[in-house]
Amino acid sequence: MYLLNSLRTRRRRLGVVAAATGLLAALLTAAPAVATPDPGDANTTPQRVSKSESAETRTAIANGEIPAPDEVVHSDNIEHLVNIPKDALPGTNSDLAFQGKYAYAGNYDGFRIFDISNPKAPKTVSQVLCPGSQNDVSVSGNLLFLSTDSSRSDDSCSSTPQPASVKSSWEGMKVFDISDKKNPKYVAAVETNCGSHTHSLVPHGRNVYIYVSSYSPSPSFPDCQPPHDGISIVKVPRDAPEKAAVVNFAVLFPGDGPDGGGNPGAPTNPGVSKTTGCHDITVLPSKDLAAGACMGDGILMSIKDPEHPKVIDQVQDNVNFAFWHSATFNQTAKKVVFTDELGGGGAATCNAAVGPNRGADGIYDIVGKGDQRKLVFRGYFKIPRHQADTENCVAHNGSLIPVEGRDIMVQAWYQGGVSVWDFTDSTKPKEIGYFERGPLTTDRLTVGGSWSAYYYNGYIYSNDIAKGFDVLKLSDRRTDPAREIHLDQLNVQTQPDYFD
């Protein structure tokens, strides 16, 4: 049992006073709050908090109950090796992908390639300017895929914002040739309905399929019409990526009404997001399975036929989940961890007032066989460290740490930092390590913190929205066996079979 390097986790008392106005007030009511998906999609202008909350934050810092602004704290089993600040791309840092000795870091202004052959001293290889929220990134062979989920004037990297109500506006998938890491080349673009908020790769022989997740249609958007109750599927020939094209729109929530068959949201389910598409899908190719986090629903899918995924179970949590955000399988495909992005990543939800079951992870066991498999709820996990009311904090992107016989993952929590936690017992998950910084500000809520935190070949890599690229080293007898596992590539939404 390791010792925390601080007693802050036991003493924190922040967050008990509800905010008086705005989004924070909604989040602290008895019912779940409607989520605003991801900070880049909403107004990220810092929001002032009440004088009492600001004073409470400063007092807690003075008393050593939370870290001071920019102060780094962590458990004894985690070492902070290095931080690489943002450089030529000043926008919001987003998702990460890995291949060999390289890390690919998304940013709302483009993407950055790091050489991580020495994790203690990553080197920037190139930075590509190609604006478009949210620029989630993945790689396969010599191809890099980039999601664009903001309406642009055209599909070029010099496009400008243009309303989605204009028919000529573009959003979707971009494809780059990265055979020369110092000079990536933009080779293809595929427009998809409602853009591409996130995407997941399904390798299949000489092709790569892309499951494109997007949502929030409107009758006024020519290329994003309701009900939008499924996902776009793009087929990319590896040898001819310029021929990439949409081959199917897979309806996942069929229904007779105008809104399809997903969660109707309010007023039927107050505070729950209406399902109009998916936020994120994680595929497990070795098991022909996928798990979808789809706004108001969690789903389990068979992907034996990658062009025609089939939903085999659908679940809802209309008490504690506001926005089903992402999914992670355990290695044996007997469990799925779903995240709830309460407040859309732009609100302070890691406090006593919101409590331990909202803005958390939901752990589901997979029971049964074949197409009769069901998702069965077992428990919630949320970081036990209360954050200030000036810190956006909620469950976000993470990955498995490959330890055979145990279920352990690392996860980003925005300004809640990076958490390592064990869910081997689905009903009794527990944190076993953490890393975080103090609040960006003490007088207003400012969006920042770790967007993605992933384990890759012995180290944890985190892409911090405001602070840049962090590398952490985890040393713990429970996770040390993972150092023996080395991958050639990691796109977290395409989970590998670590022990095959």
Number of domains comprising the chain: 1
Give the number of other Cβ atoms within 10 Å of residue 128's Cβ. 23
C-alpha distances out from residue 467 to 123, 125, 401, Å: 16, 19, 24
- Establish if 163 belongs to a structural domain: yes
In this prediction, residue 10 carries a pLDDT of: 33
Cα atoms in the Cβ-side hemisphere of radius 13 Å centred on 432: 21
Beta-carbon count within 10 A of 288 CB: 16
**Contact, 470 vs 114, CB < 8 A?**
no
User: Contact, 78 vs 473, CB < 8 A?
Assistant: yes
Domain contains 177:
yes
- H/E stretch holding 453 reads strand 450-456
Burial class (CB within 10 angstroms; exposed 0-12, middle 13-18, buried 19+) of 376 = middle
CB 324 within 8 A of CB 298: yes
Residue 496 domain flag: no
User: Taking the model in full, what pTM does it have?
Assistant: 0.92
Residue 330 main-chain phi, psi, to 5 deg: -80, 170
* Phi–psi pair at 480, nearest 5 degrees: -55, -35
- Alpha-carbon distance values, 323 to 32, 278, 497 (Å): 10, 10, 28
Q: What pLDDT, on a 0 to 100 scale, did the predictor assign at position 49?
A: 79
**Mean pLDDT (10-residue bins), the chain, 500 residues:** 34 34 35 41 65 82 86 98 98 98 98 98 98 96 97 97 97 98 98 98 96 96 96 98 98 84 94 96 97 98 98 98 98 97 95 96 97 98 95 98 98 98 98 97 94 98 98 98 97 94
User: pLDDT value at position 38?
Assistant: 52
Query: Is residue 268, in this structure, part of any structural domain at all?
Result: yes
Residues facing residue 257 across a β-bridge: none
Distance CA 27, CA 322 (A): 10
Q: Read off the CATH number of the domain in which 317 is found.
A: 2.130.10.10
CA angle in degrees (0–180, nearest 5) for 363-320-394: 75
2 belongs to a structural domain: no
Please indicate, yes or no, if residue 498 is contained in any of the structural domains: no
Domain-located, residue 497: no
Domain that holds residue 433: 8-490
pLDDT of residue 45: 67
Could you give the CA distance from residue 110 to residue 144 in angstroms, rounded to a whole number? 12
Per the domain annotation, does 499 fall within a domain? no
